[in-house]
Structure 1
Amino acid sequence: MFSSNSSKMFFFFILFNSTLIAISSNSWLGCWIGLEINLLSFIPLISNSNNLLATEASLKYFLTQSIASINFLFTILLKMIMLKNFEMIFFLSIMINSSMLMKMGSAPFHFWFPNIVEGLNWLNNFILMTWQKITPMIILSYYFNKNFILFIIIMMNVIIGALGGLNQTSLRKLMAFSSINNLGWMMSAIMITENLWLFYLFFYSFMISIMFFSFFMLNMFYINQLFTNNLMPIIKINLMINFLSLGGLPPFIGFFPKWIIINFLILNQMYFLTFIMIMMSLIVLFFYIRIIYSIFMFNYLKIKWLKIFIKNNNFLLINILSFFSISSMIISTLFFF
């Protein structure tokens, strides 16, 4: 996955550290500096001179992140000037939150996200959908008062994430809309407590790491490749387990964090929000199950001779992780009760 050159590793190291700088900073300016370093270390990782799509994606990413950073910096300066004026607090919180939402690729600022995801490889997509969400989420939680606007944004995320994925043929775009949907869940988790958000992020990262690792090894980018290339039955079963787990279907591990979030939302009497989130999860499950159905049912005679195999050690790793996806739900349920 990694290139053998040291500059890639150097940028990975800076990317890792910049997040730590931003989330451990005492001032807004420190957060901004962390975000800027993060941006400038991620761009060399995603740009590839041999791939026009990757180059275009890195330019788009730079532009959107720069706009969000300018907005954030402007708000910080405004906050410093208007410190005595407490009527501005609500306006400032909306400004800061909107720039963080734009950095994450959250609705209603999500339009750049699927386009950029389409131009990246699986490893860069994994970083974009997991690690790059941490800093904006932490900064978002500083000003996360439970107001009506945030409920609307959470609902927009789960609805756009569910409906946007219905019409996609590209696996990367599908995972992008799935990420937008999961962002809604993460925001409702951080509204309750940061520990719950961390818990959800860990499980989400674990699930999509198996998915992306599988797609990377199978060299798959579009849905039709999953059924035109005759995969081994065990690979199909693994994909089925991981898709259903990501959709949040019990008894898979992906259901567990969603279950806890639903529990807390109901305890806090947010019934309408819970209803919308559960309904949209059903739509997400619908398009996952549609893919799984196609993988198992379609058989292409023209390319019967093309069998896709994976190297044994990598294949064993995916098998173990997929098994963990089933078994750990049962274990965690026992612990929960």
Structure 2
Amino acid sequence: MFMLSWMGVLSWVMLIFSYIIAIMSDSFFFIWFSFELNLVSFIYLMWDMKTIASINSMVKYFLIQSLISMLFLFMLMMFEAMNLSYIMSNMMILMMLLKMGVFPFMFWLTDVIEGMSIKILILFLSVQKIIPLYVISLVNFYYLNYIIIFTTLIGMIMMLGQFSIRKFLIFSSMVHSGWMMMGLTMGFKFWMIYLIIYVFILLHLLDFKKLDSFFQMKFLNLNEKIMFMFMMLNLSGLPPFLGFFSKLLILSYLMESNFNIMVYLIILSIFSSYIYMMYMSMMFFSKSYNTYKISYFLNKINNFMLFLGLMLILVVVLFIYF
């Protein structure tokens, strides 16, 4: 038991140290080393539950992250020797997008999260993005705005009809990842402040460790429902909650530098808030599982109309911006 506790503490220290190495390093080889250190420590933390589901998640996560690390190292050795900096930067961005699980590489997320404990899920959704976001900030990528637009849009659309809280949070995290990527185009402090606030909001999930589905919310007492509602309002970024101020920081900068993207993100936030409010209304006003089923099919119709509206807005914004 002592050995396990000692290994757990060591894993946490290694995890934190991996972030420090990446951010303080001026060499991509040291960043690759931080990938490996981060992977080893995070895998051990995932092993904490010791269930079949957690083992499956751990193996899938290990295979994907190991592939990224190998490709990253191979790219450094090959492309630097051949002095192909443009290809290297593009490949590096794509690998970091795969590592974070954002557009167009979000296919592996839902399988990996099923076996994670709430504690590990919070880490996975938040601080595990530090290293890939930092690498993206080091590289000039012309198409980053496209990635941000489609990451936030697809993440929001995938939130629709998700009654698994884990899957809902994964796609919600995609939207927030888009905001953080927009913040890193402005400077280190912008995306780091956004990330810190996002971590603080997600920490409230620790109060709902046994809550796996929105169907189970009817079993919460009134105080628990109110706490969960505050967390959802924070995630949606509605004023005057803390999540609003992180978005306001980025929007205030975009007002002077990129007005069209600012308009797009505001419109996206409005529709995202509608989705969060829809789930919260079901929490307070749906009384039975049958009511949930009815609400689900009614929401399918609303979601289709919402999807059409989003597509129209996206076309208009892309036409104006590009």
Q: Under TM normalisation by the shorter chain, which class is it?
A: 0.7 to 0.9
Q: Cα gap change, 1:50/1:32 in structure 2, threshold over 3 Å: closer, same or farther?
A: closer
2:125 corresponds in structure 1 to 129
Runs of 4+ with deviation above 4 angstroms: none
Quote the sequence identity (%).
31
The one-letter amino acid of 1:209's match is: L
Contact 2:54–2:116 (Cα < 8 Å) also in 1: yes
Q: Whose relative contact order is higher, 1 or 2, with alpha carbons under 8 Å and at least 6 apart? A: 1
The one-letter amino acid of 1:175's match is: L
Q: Deviations over 1:295-328 (max 9, x none)?
A: 2113359xxxxxxxxxxxxxxxxxxxxxxxxxxx
1:194 to 177, 188, 201: 188
Give me the whole-angstrom Cα distance separating, in 1, the residues matched to 2:207 and 2:155: 22
Give me the whole-angstrom Cα distance separating, in 1, the residues matched to 2:123 and 2:132: 14
Q: Deviations over 1:263-295 (max 9, x none)?
A: 211211341x22332233233222221221112
1:24 pairs with 2:15: no
The one-letter amino acid of 1:255's match is: F
2:206 to 204, 208, 213: 213
Q: Cα gap change, 1:49/1:118 in structure 2, threshold over 3 Å: closer, same or farther?
A: closer
Give me the whole-angstrom Cα distance separating, in 2, the residues matched to 1:4 and 1:89: 44
Please say which of residues 186-195 and 67-76 is displaced more in the overlay.
67-76
Q: How far did residue 40 of structure 1 move? A: 1.2
Q: Deviations over 1:20-64 (max 9, x none)?
A: 122222311111011111111111111357421111111111111
Contact 2:96–2:132 (Cα < 8 Å) also in 1: yes
Q: How far did residue 4 of structure 1 move? A: 7.2
1:260 to 229, 246, 249: 249
| Number of residue-to-residue matches in the alignment | 287
Is the partner of 1:5 in helix, strand or coil?
Answer: helix
Contact 1:71–1:95 (Cα < 8 Å) also in 2: no
1:184 to 178, 189, 193: 178
CA RMSD of aligned residues (A): 1.9
Q: How does 1:216-227 map to 2 (within 5 A)?
A: 216=209, 219-227=210-218
2:95 corresponds in structure 1 to 99
The one-letter amino acid of 2:134's match is: I
Give me the whole-angstrom Cα distance separating, in 1, the residues matched to 2:269 and 2:65: 29
Is the partner of 1:67 in helix, strand or coil?
Answer: helix
Is the partner of 2:106 in helix, strand or coil?
Answer: coil
- Structure 2 spans left out of the alignment, 5+ residues: 290-322
1:15 pairs with 2:15: yes
2:235 corresponds in structure 1 to 246
1:275 corresponds in structure 2 to 263
Contact 1:48–1:55 (Cα < 8 Å) also in 2: no
2:157 to 152, 157, 163: 163
1:140 pairs with 2:146: no
Q: How far did residue 92 of structure 1 move? A: 1.3
Q: How far did residue 209 of structure 1 move? A: 1.0
Is the partner of 2:34 in helix, strand or coil?
Answer: helix
Q: Deviations over 1:214-239 (max 9, x none)?
A: 212xx101110011x1x222221221
The one-letter amino acid of 1:59's match is: V
Q: Cα gap change, 1:283/1:55 in structure 2, threshold over 3 Å: closer, same or farther?
A: farther
Give me the whole-angstrom Cα distance separating, in 1, the residues matched to 2:183 and 2:50: 40
Give me the whole-angstrom Cα distance separating, in 1, the residues matched to 2:278 and 2:223: 19
Give me the whole-angstrom Cα distance separating, in 1, the residues matched to 2:162 and 2:58: 22
Contact 1:36–1:69 (Cα < 8 Å) also in 2: yes
1:108 pairs with 2:99: no
The one-letter amino acid of 1:244's match is: L
Contact 2:53–2:115 (Cα < 8 Å) also in 1: yes
Give me the whole-angstrom Cα distance separating, in 2, the residues matched to 1:233 and 1:220: 15
Give me the whole-angstrom Cα distance separating, in 2, the residues matched to 1:79 and 1:178: 35
1:332 corresponds in structure 2 to none
- Structure 1 spans left out of the alignment, 5+ residues: 302-337
1:55 corresponds in structure 2 to 55
1:284 corresponds in structure 2 to 272
1:294 corresponds in structure 2 to 282
1:326 corresponds in structure 2 to none
Contact 1:47–1:57 (Cα < 8 Å) also in 2: no
2:113 corresponds in structure 1 to 117
